[in-house]
């Protein structure tokens, strides 16, 4: 029988707990996506230094893919717009990270956010930042390492497999959301996202993703407001 986990009482123990929480199926799905990204960078003849910089400095797959597909200032602007979706994630985590929560802003991405939103309510706010820094830094490191593997094994990955792996993370979290459909707060968000998804397909990647999120999220909020 496994021993119960030690209580989180110090910043060091919170940091270690965040590291432990970062490992799991969600990290495997994220690493599959980064593996495909590394292979895509090799296929586009991008240097490994560029790939590493995008993983560490951008750490948001839609933004990274836009930078890869659209070089120069337009790509930077597109990646910035695409990563604007992290703003509501930051808002939901802010109460758990304390007054210095801005120090963890760089690691706010889908994988750390989903893990954090499930664990941080049980962590004291003064220790939340240490927990999130442990979780986010390891998640970023795992993704970067997977991208390096993908970069050097690009020749062994067929194009169809690379394309499929790019969606592994999104598919995994879609399944997580589907499992939470019974919760009243989740159902409108999922339905709103599904209905707004065509906007992300019909419009350019950066604008389409942002507009789909805005329309779907606003629709979900209105749905919740209008229901008794």
Q: What residue spans define the domains of the chain?
A: 12-170, 181-228
Answer yes or no: is pLDDT of 84 > 90: no
Output the pLDDT for position 208.
Answer: 77
Confidence grade of residue 50 (pLDDT, cut at 50, 70, 90): very high
- Of 2-16, 20-34, 170-184, where does the model show the most confidence? 20-34
The rounded mean pLDDT for the chain is 85
- Of 38-42, 159-163, 174-178, where does the model show the most confidence? 38-42
Output the pLDDT for position 169.
Answer: 78
Lowest mean pLDDT among 32-36, 86-90, 115-119, 174-178: 174-178
Answer yes or no: is pLDDT of 201 > 90: no
How many Å apart are CA 86 and CA 48, to the nearest integer? 26
- Of 84-88, 138-142, 170-174, where does the model show the most confidence? 138-142
Lowest mean pLDDT among 135-139, 152-156, 173-177: 173-177
How many Å apart are CA 77 and CA 160, to the nearest integer? 29
Confidence grade of residue 166 (pLDDT, cut at 50, 70, 90): confident
Q: Is 191 exposed, middle or buried (0-12, 13-18, 19+ CB in 10 A)?
A: middle
When pLDDT is averaged across residues 185-189 and rounded to a whole number, the result is: 77
Enter the DSSP assignment of 7: P
CB atoms within 10 A of CB 79: 23
Confidence grade of residue 106 (pLDDT, cut at 50, 70, 90): very high
Percent of the chain scoring above 90 in pLDDT = 43
Answer yes or no: is pLDDT of 207 > 90: no
Closest CA to 11 of 177, 127, 137: 127
Instruction: Specify the 3-state DSSP secondary structure of 68.
Output: helix
Answer yes or no: is pLDDT of 78 > 80: no
Length of the chain: 228
How many Å apart are CA 36 and CA 173, to the nearest integer? 17
Confidence grade of residue 127 (pLDDT, cut at 50, 70, 90): very high
Kindly report each contact of residues 213-221 with a partner whose C-beta sits within 8 Å and lies 24 or more positions away, as own/partner. Answer: 213/85, 216/189, 216/192, 217/88, 217/189, 217/192, 217/193, 218/192, 219/188, 219/192, 219/195, 220/188, 220/189, 220/191, 220/192, 220/193, 221/188
How many Å apart are CA 164 and CA 87, to the nearest integer? 27
| Higher pLDDT among residues 173 and 33, named by residue | 33
Output the pLDDT for position 21.
Answer: 95
When pLDDT is averaged across residues 63-70 and rounded to a whole number, the result is: 83
How many Å apart are CA 110 and CA 62, to the nearest integer? 11
Structure tokens at 72: 């120069």
How many Å apart are CA 56 and CA 34, to the nearest integer? 12
Q: Residues 111, 142: contact at Cβ < 8 Å?
A: no
Residues with Cβ < 8 Å from 4, sequence gap 6 or more? none
Kindly report each contact of residues 8-14 with a partner whose C-beta sits within 8 Å and lies 24 or more positions away, as own/partner. Answer: 8/123, 8/124, 8/127, 8/131, 10/127, 11/127, 11/130, 12/130, 13/127, 14/123, 14/127, 14/128, 14/130, 14/131, 14/134
Confidence grade of residue 2 (pLDDT, cut at 50, 70, 90): very low
């Amino acid at each position: 029988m496994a021993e119960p986990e030690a209580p989180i009482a110090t910043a060091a123990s919170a940091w270690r707990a965040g590291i432990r929480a970062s490992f799991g199926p969600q990290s495997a799905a994220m690493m599959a996506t980064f593996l495909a990204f590394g292979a895509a960078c090799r296929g586009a003849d991008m240097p490994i230094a560029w790939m590493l910089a995008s993983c560490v400095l951008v750490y948001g797959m839609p933004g990274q893919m836009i930078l890869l597909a659209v070089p120069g200032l337009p790509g930077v602007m597109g990646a910035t717009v695409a990563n604007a979706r992290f703003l509501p994630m930051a808002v939901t985590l802010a109460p758990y990270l304390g007054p210095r929560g801005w120090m963890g802003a760089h690691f706010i991405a889908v994988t750390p956010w989903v893990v954090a939103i499930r664990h941080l309510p049980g962590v004291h706010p003064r220790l939340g930042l240490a927990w999130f820094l442990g979780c986010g830094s390891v998640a970023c490191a795992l993704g970067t390492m997977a991208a390096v593997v993908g970069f050097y094994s690009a020749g062994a990955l067929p194009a169809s497999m690379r394309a499929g792996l790019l969606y592994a993370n999104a598919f995994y979290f879609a399944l997580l959301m589907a499992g939470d459909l019974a919760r009243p707060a989740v159902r409108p968000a999922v339905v709103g996202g599904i209905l707004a998804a065509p906007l992300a397909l019909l419009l350019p990647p950066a604008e389409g993703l942002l507009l789909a999120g805005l329309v779907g999220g606003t629709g979900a909020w209105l749905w919740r407001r209008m229901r008794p």
